[in-house]
Amino acid sequence: MQIDAAKRLVAKSVKAGQGALSEFDSKRFLSAYGVPITRERLVNSEKDARAAAERLGYPVVLKGCAHDLLHKTEAGLVMVGLGSSKEVANAFRELKARAGSDFGGRFLVQEMVKGDRELMIGMTRDEQFGPSVMFGLGGIFTEILEDVVFRLAPLSLSDAREMMSEIRSTKILNSVRGMARVNQPMLARAIVAVGKAAVDNPDIAEIDINPLIVSGSHPVAVDGLVILKPSKSA
Amino acid sequence: MPKRTLKRFFEPRSVAVIGASATAGRPGRVVIENMRANGYDGDIYPVNPRGGRLLGLKVVKAIDELPRGIDLAIVILPAQATPQAVRDCAARKIGSIVLVAGGFAEVDHAGEHLQAELARAADETGVRVLGPNTAGHISTPANFTSSFFPLGEIPRGGISYVAQTGNFTGAMMKHIMSAENYGVARCIGLGNTIDIDETDVFEFLATDKHTKAIFFYLESLRRPQRFIEIAKRVTSEKPVILLKGGATPEGAKAAQSHTASMASDDRILDGALNQAGVVRIDEFSHLFLAAKGVAPMPVPAGNRVGFVSPSGAFIVHINDLCRQRLSLNFPDLKSETMERLKEISPPFIRLSNPVDIFPSATVHGMEFAYREAMEAVLKDPNVDAIVSIMILTRELGMPALDFIPKLAKKYRRKPIYISFSGDQACNEEAKAFLEPRGVPTFPLIEDAFKALDVLVRARKSLKK
């Protein structure tokens, strides 16, 4: 997806009265701005789910995916570590049952990214300062350690680099305990991209990329959420 | 209509003191004594319904008897009388007013009401107002102050303070004057900021050629976006150092995302200040320490410090401090520097940076050892700044210290900070000798490094 198409996606979703983009759309959108994301396929049937898993390679993750599904894990709509076509099929039936008959979304088959380091990038609009980009520790540590820093958008690459060295746990980006050093230029570009996405799209209220898992040395957005401002006509 | 600049506040050619008093010790008299003590040579017009003469000046009986177009009025009246005084001043074409009185929004509900009335008076007449509830301001380039705190002659220099407290034009200024040897350019107590706020003053100081470094003590920011815009420009020209007190409680936000729930006002402000090159500090004393460091010395070109110490314990401790809390480091020295240090030390000594100078001092004496070691380290291109701790006692004999200002002159691009260990009387003697000659001293050994650290952080955004 190109940036123009990404902007249109946001505009269209606002017009449709959506409060957020689905995970699939959020990540396509972020990817257009240069955030590395997981390989994934949106599917609607067991057969398509199995075919997608075959193409992506095992293990895979299966998730419910809809623009009004903000908390997938809490809703029980995430199954990880699916290692075979049969497991994918079982998981699909299970999730479909859990989602219920009034579930309007689809399902996302996703490569399962391995990595012990979870980071996050986010954006919120401050009343005083406008779009503000956050970077810090992700996953369950975001709220526990509160190790995050902010910069105002738009950001320069050197702003992003400063953020990376400013978190208390900055050493997590080095090569530690046999893990590779994080590809820092790539991470910096992803942070800058989130700022640009916010400046380009005033209809976006908040962005969460959490977790951004470090796979080998590459940061990859494993989950993404783009929250929209309420549409003016609604 | 664009608001008038603050030029008349800082460079008034004539001043009216509304509420001048003949009684010794009253603010309405002290303010005039302060102006006199600082050599203010503009016209001063005391105003008091009693008339007569005050400190050799003719007292005008009412504001409407003042000549038109006086640059600045200082209003020292009870709170209730200030709104009318503002309107009367405006009618006499006085466009800039310092309001000293307290008893407004900082006190009670009635005060809040009165403050709103005052704000209306300022707004409707278009005058610029500093205060109310301020101890006034200082402008040494104009030999001027509106402070009513008995100060006497205020030392001149390049440091400017902007504070949401009257302290920097009152008691804190007295502290600087009596305990330190650096001078100030402009100091402003903002008071309740019905008109002039920190951002207005920042804008003035940004292009003020008398201001070398700007220090803020703030509890809130009225126009944060504009403040950051100005900061982005200024921090490439001069250090901007800020202490923000009173962290606001985190408001419960209707947040759907993790990001919004983590986004406290203080975190975002912190990021914005950093991005704009403002050095945020968290210790009040650093408002003085860093000022003292930068007043006579250049901002260090980088964070590489040469450290000449008389004690291994200091070396160990300061190493820990710099590693754990500060952004300073102790670089390896060039082989030429090491050669020279070896020449001046007994043969069994292992040398590195930090330099243990004690063995050399026992053989060659304090003056020779410090002079030669400091010069060798200052010459070293790997070093951006130097800190020396000296042991001074009568028993060892006070060394002649004039080599230090000489080194400062010779290596003018590298800051030299001196600290002490030993006899307090000797330390004070050394301070009294060195500081007026442009070398700052820090009685507590950590302080020299903490001050340097603040300025190293300011360096990042400065153009060469």
- Indicate yes or no: CB of A124 within 8 angstroms of CB of B275: no
Q: What confidence score (pLDDT) does residue B248 get?
A: 58
pLDDT by residue (tens digit) across B380-418? 999 999 999 999 999 988 999 999 999 999 999 999 999
Q: What confidence score (pLDDT) does residue B3 get?
A: 72
Residues of A in contact with B271 (CB under 8 A): 132, 149-152, 163
Which among A132, A134, A136 has a CA at the least distance from the CA of A119? A136
CATH number of the structural domain spanning residue B357: 3.40.50.261
Task: Identify the domain boundary among B133, B149, B177.
Answer: B133
- Indicate yes or no: CB of B259 within 8 angstroms of CB of A122: yes
Q: Nearest CA to CA, how far is A92 from chain B (Å)?
A: 27
Give the pLDDT mean for B59-80: 96
Residues of B in contact with A120 (CB under 8 A): 258-259
Whether residue B350 lies inside any domain: the answer is yes
Q: What confidence score (pLDDT) does residue B389 get?
A: 97
CA A113 to chain CA centroid, nearest Å: 13
Whether residue B293 lies inside any domain: the answer is no
Residues of A in contact with B231 (CB under 8 A): none
**ipTM > 0.95 (yes/no):** no
Contacts of A35 (CB under 8 A, 6+ apart): A27, A121, A190, A193, A194, A209, A221, A224
- Indicate yes or no: CB of A126 within 8 angstroms of CB of B263: yes
The 8-class DSSP code of residue B250 comes to P
Residues of B in contact with A204 (CB under 8 A): none
Tokens 């102006």 locate to B35
Q: What confidence score (pLDDT) does residue A234 get?
A: 46
Q: Which among A120, A150, A210 is the nearest to B271, CB-wise?
A: A150
Do residues B206 and B228 lie in contact, with contact meaning Cβ atoms separated by under 8 Å?
no
The residue segments making up the domain with residue B372 are: 305-459
pLDDT by residue (tens digit) across B280-316? 999 999 999 999 999 999 999 999 999 999 999 999 9
Q: Report how far residue A115's alpha carbon sits from residue A177's, in angstroms, rounded to the nearest whole number.
A: 13
Residues of A in contact with B264 (CB under 8 A): none
- Indicate yes or no: CB of B256 within 8 angstroms of CB of A149: no
A208 inside 8 A of chain B by CB: yes
Give the pLDDT mean for B40-66: 97
Q: Environment class of residue B180 by beta-carbon count within 10 Å: exposed (0-12), middle (13-18) or buried (19+)?
A: buried
Domains: count for chain B: 2
Torsion sign, CA atoms B314, B319, B325, B329 = positive
Q: Nearest CA to CA, how far is A166 from chain B (Å)?
A: 10
Do residues A205 and B254 lie in contact, with contact meaning Cβ atoms separated by under 8 Å?
no
Domains within chain A, CATH numbers bracketed: 3-34+114-228 (3.30.470.20), 40-111 (3.30.1490.20)
CA B231 to chain CA centroid, nearest Å: 17
Q: Which among A136, A149, A206 is the nearest to B256, CB-wise?
A: A206
What's at B24, amino acid-wise? A
What's at B450, amino acid-wise? K
Q: Which among A126, A151, A227 is the nearest to B256, CB-wise?
A: A227
Which among A71, A180, A46, A195 has a CA at the least distance from the CA of A135? A195
Contacts of B65 (CB under 8 A, 6+ apart): none
**Beta carbon pairs, A and B, within 8 Å:** 84
Check whether B212 has a pLDDT greater than 50: yes
- Indicate yes or no: CB of A208 within 8 angstroms of CB of B262: no
Q: What is the DSSP string of B170-215?
A: THHHHHHHHH----EEEEEE-TT-SS--HHHHHHHHHT-TT-SEEE
Q: Environment class of residue B379 by beta-carbon count within 10 Å: exposed (0-12), middle (13-18) or buried (19+)?
A: middle
Q: Report how far residue B39's alpha carbon sits from residue B52's, in angstroms, rounded to the nearest whole number.
A: 23
How many C-beta atoms surround the C-beta of residue A183 within 10 A? 17
Task: Identify the domain boundary among B75, B107, B133.
Answer: B133
Q: Which among A124, A132, A152 is the nearest to B257, CB-wise?
A: A124
Residues of A in contact with B259 (CB under 8 A): 120, 122-124, 134, 206-208
Check whether B168 has a pLDDT greater than 90: no
Q: Nearest CA to CA, how far is B272 from chain A (Å)?
A: 6
Whether residue B381 lies inside any domain: the answer is yes
Residues of A in contact with B275 (CB under 8 A): 151-152, 155, 159, 162
Q: What confidence score (pLDDT) does residue A52 get?
A: 97
Question: How many Å is the Cα radius of gyration of chain A?
Answer: 18
Task: Identify the domain boundary among B83, B106, B133.
Answer: B133
Whether residue B450 lies inside any domain: the answer is yes
Q: What is the DSSP string of B304-321?
A: BEEEEES-HHHHHHHHHH
CATH number of the structural domain spanning residue B64: 3.40.50.720
Q: Nearest CA to CA, how far is A230 from chain B (Å)?
A: 13
Q: Report how far residue B309's alpha carbon sits from residue B391's, in angstroms, rounded to the nearest whole number.
A: 9
Q: Report how far residue B247's alpha carbon sits from residue B234's, in angstroms, rounded to the nearest whole number.
A: 25
Check whether B279 has a pLDDT greater than 90: yes
How would you label A108-134 residue by residue, b for 16+ Cβ within 10 Å and e otherwise? bbbbbbebebbbbbbbbbbeebebbbb
- Indicate yes or no: CB of B271 within 8 angstroms of CB of A149: yes
Whether residue B202 lies inside any domain: the answer is no
- Indicate yes or no: CB of A132 within 8 angstroms of CB of B263: yes
Whether residue B209 lies inside any domain: the answer is no
pLDDT per residue, tens digit, chain A (234 aa), is: 899 999 999 999 999 999 999 999 999 999 999 999 999 999 999 999 999 999 999 999 999 999 998 888 888 999 999 999 999 999 999 999 999 989 989 999 999 999 999 999 999 999 889 999 999 999 888 889 999 999 999 999 999 999 999 999 999 999 988 899 999 999 999 999 999 999 999 999 999 999 999 999 999 999 999 999 987 654
A128 inside 8 A of chain B by CB: yes
Residue B194: how many CA atoms within 13 Å on its side-chain side?
Answer: 35
CA B98 to chain CA centroid, nearest Å: 21
Whether residue B191 lies inside any domain: the answer is no
Whether residue B232 lies inside any domain: the answer is no
Q: What confidence score (pLDDT) does residue A72 get?
A: 87
Q: What confidence score (pLDDT) does residue B261 get?
A: 84
Do residues B294 and B440 lie in contact, with contact meaning Cβ atoms separated by under 8 Å?
no
Q: Residue B407: which H helix or E strand, with range?
A: helix B403-410
pLDDT by residue (tens digit) across B215-268? 999 998 999 999 999 999 999 999 999 999 876 555 545 667 888 888 888 899
Q: How far is CA A198 from CA A85, A227, B104, B294, B370, in A?
A: 39, 11, 42, 39, 57
Helix (H, G, I), strand (E, B) or coil at B389: strand
How would you label A55-73 residue by residue, b for 16+ Cβ within 10 Å and e otherwise? ebeebbbbbbbbbebbebe
Chain mean pLDDT for chain B: 94
- Indicate yes or no: CB of B263 within 8 angstroms of CB of A152: no
User: In chain B, what percentage of residues exceed pLDDT 70?
Assistant: 97
Q: What confidence score (pLDDT) does residue A232 get?
A: 65
- Indicate yes or no: CB of A124 within 8 angstroms of CB of B225: no
Mutate to test the interface with A, among B257, B261, B323, B324 (most CBs of A within 10 A): B257
Do residues B321 and B305 lie in contact, with contact meaning Cβ atoms separated by under 8 Å?
no
Give the pLDDT mean for B201-217: 97
- Indicate yes or no: CB of B225 within 8 angstroms of CB of A207: no
Which among B167, B215, B173, B175 has a CA at the least distance from the CA of B191? B167
Give the pLDDT mean for B155-184: 93
Measured in residues, chain B has a length of: 464
Residues of A in contact with B261 (CB under 8 A): 143
Higher pLDDT among residues A14 and B108, named by residue: A14
Q: Report how far residue B39's alpha carbon sits from residue B144's, in angstroms, rounded to the nearest whole number.
A: 8
